[in-house]
Amino acid sequence: MPNLPFQAPLSEIASHIQPFRVMKILGEAKALQSQGRDIIHMEIGEPDFPSLECVHQAAFEAAQLGLTHYTPSLGLPALRQKLSQFYQTFYQANVSAEQIMLTPGSSSALQLVLTAIVNPGDNVLLTDPTYPCNRQFVNLLYGQLVNVPSDADSNYQLNLALLKQHWQPDIKVVLVASPANPTGTVIEQAELMSMARFLAERNAFLIVDEIYQGLVYDRPAESILANHPRPDNIIVINSFSKFFGMTGWRLGWCVAPKILMPILDRLAQNLFLAAPTPAQYGAMAVLEPNALAQLELRRAVFAERRDVLFNSMQAAGFKLKVMPQGAFYLYWDVSEWTQDSEQFCQDLLNKTGVAITPGTDFGEQEGHHYVRLAYTTDSEQLIEAVNRIADFIKTIKD
Ligand SMILES: Cc1ncc(COP(=O)(O)O)c(C=O)c1O
């Protein structure tokens, strides 16, 4: 056989998957840092705090006891039970353990749930801007995206009026996040429930991504599951990544109608077998009252940072359209200075060492003139970042 060069026969769909640009900025910021540059990281969407000591302890103890094997695909029964109790205690929500499934990050929960629902060609409605991976999950299933532009007038969120306006009979599922990434905005429960009922009447699912649940400021944490009665078309996605500060442990969960559970179970058995076992033992500890009290203190730190960032931006003369109600992001319209948010972020990083994320990751329609700032660094750094941004803007103006 002649020694022919290998021409990798790759799938077509893989070539259509868009990069998550924040990872590129993060890589570049880290490269500059390793050259000795002073970098302020406001690009990546994860808490800067390490996971709690009790998590490490619980995972370590489980490992020492030899509990390092696969768990059932739906997750450790004790953890599913504990989450059911968590909903009862904190949200007065009746959620049976049988409806809860643990997954490797909520990313896998989103993929599983969409795989269980979406046929090639089915319509999936998302808001624009949105968490970007959602679009790629739909693309992987050959689903069709219905992007609904949202702006400051609707708190950058979907609402019943927008849903009605963009409704098409072949929409099978609508996916929202509250609080949302990249805007930190919240959908009120009454609005969510009216959308859930509208969709139930049309035989469509509502997926509510509650991954930033717990990270809300000036208002109590909420879950759509606390509403009674509620229609059977609601699926909730959640994670130990954000409020619980366990991004690297890769553990999330979903709460789905009973009818979906055997399908989700079968999919999980094939796709990843089970969520990581040490992470599940660690999560048992993070749901204990003393751990939750520590996380509450961290929430207060995020609340303070939000105020520091928002107020410093305003003091620098920057217009902000909405005060984020949760998560740890500020979505900022930079159209006064650019229509190319990627170049803006690139130049800002190179010239000032402040790493932020271009809106093109999140918004197909207007992302080119938005950027996302993550307040996942301390207040002092946030103030310094705003000063550097203000200096940078002056160089554009001059
Ligand atoms: C809205 C939203 N959903 C889901 C995820 C996925 O997170 P994880 O897989 O760590 O649970 C993220 C991560 O940033 C997010 O912002």
- State if residue 252 touches ligand 1 by the CB under 6 angstroms criterion: yes
Q: Are 153 and 239 in a shared domain?
A: yes
Same domain, 335 and 276: no
Residue 179 has pLDDT above 90, yes or no: yes
Task: Specify if 264 maps to a domain.
Answer: yes
- Same domain membership, residue 304 and residue 274: no
In angstroms, what is the span from residue 346 Cα to ligand 1's centroid? Answer: 24
What integer pLDDT is reported at residue 19 of this predicted model?
A: 82
Of 288, 312, 337, the last residue of a domain is 288
Q: Are residues 314 and 256 in the same domain?
A: no
Pocket test for ligand 1, best of 26, 137, 239, 246 (most atoms within 8 A of CB): 239
- Asked whether residue 347 is assigned to any structural domain, the reply reads yes
CATH code of residue 276: 3.40.640.10
Q: Hey, what are 41's tokens?
A: 């990281």
Residues 113 and 152 in one domain: yes
Q: Is the CB of 104 under 6 A from ligand 1?
A: no
Ligand 1 atom having least distance to the Cα of 251: 11
Ligand 1: distance of its center to the CA of 276 in Å? 17
Q: How many residues appear in the chain?
A: 398
Q: Which atom of ligand 1 is nearest to the CA of 240?
A: 11
> Residue 90's pLDDT is what?
96
- Predicted local confidence at residue 16, as pLDDT: 85
- The pair of three-digit structure tokens given for residue 30, joined into one six-digit string: 């880290």
Give the pLDDT mean for 48-53.
Answer: 97
Residues 284 and 295 in one domain: no
Question: Does position 74 have pLDDT exceeding 70, yes or no?
Answer: yes
4 within domain boundaries: no
Structurally, the chain folds into a number of domains equal to 2
Domain co-membership, 78 together with 44: no
196 and 127 in a single domain? The answer is yes
Residue 61, in any domain of the structure: no
CA 106 to centroid of ligand 1, rounded, Å: 6
Regarding the beta carbon of 132 and ligand 1, being less than 6 Å apart is answered no
Q: Whose CA is nearest to atom 14 of ligand 1?
A: 45
CA of 183 to the centre of ligand 1 (A): 14
pLDDT tens sequence across 276-308:
999 999 999 999 999 999 999 999 999 999 999
| The pLDDT of residue 123 | 98
Residue 397 has pLDDT above 80, yes or no: no
Would you state the pLDDT for residue 7? 84
Q: How far is the CA of 369 from the centre of ligand 1 (A)?
A: 23
Q: 102 and 249 share a domain?
A: yes
User: Do both 251 and 348 map to the same domain?
Assistant: no
Does residue 147 sit within a domain?
A: yes
Sign of the CA dihedral with 288 first, then 208, 374, and 380 last: negative
Residue 1 in this model has a pLDDT that exceeds 90: no
Arithmetic mean of pLDDT over the chain: 96
Flag whether pLDDT at 5 surpasses 90.
Answer: no
Q: Does residue 114 sit within a domain?
A: yes
Q: What separation in Å is there between the alpha carbon of 99 and the centre of ligand 1?
A: 21
Cβ of 155 less than 6 Å from ligand 1: no
Q: Let me know whether 43 and 132 are in one domain.
A: no
Residue 218 phi/psi, 5-degree rounding, is 65, 20
Are residues 247 and 299 both part of a single domain?
Answer: no
Mean pLDDT of all residues in 381-387: 98
User: Tens digits of per-residue pLDDT, 92-102?
Assistant: 999 999 999 99
Domain final position from 264, 288, 312: 288
Q: Tell me the residue range of the domain where 149 lies.
A: 68-288
**Domain's final residue, options 273, 288, 303:** 288
Q: What percent of the chain has a predicted confidence (pLDDT) above 90?
A: 93
Look at residue 2 and tell me if it is in a domain. Answer: no
Q: Which of the residue ranges 15-19, 68-72, 134-138 would you say has the lowest mean pLDDT?
A: 15-19
pLDDT of residue 160: 98
Q: Hey, how many other C-beta atoms are within 10 angstroms of the C-beta on 167?
A: 16
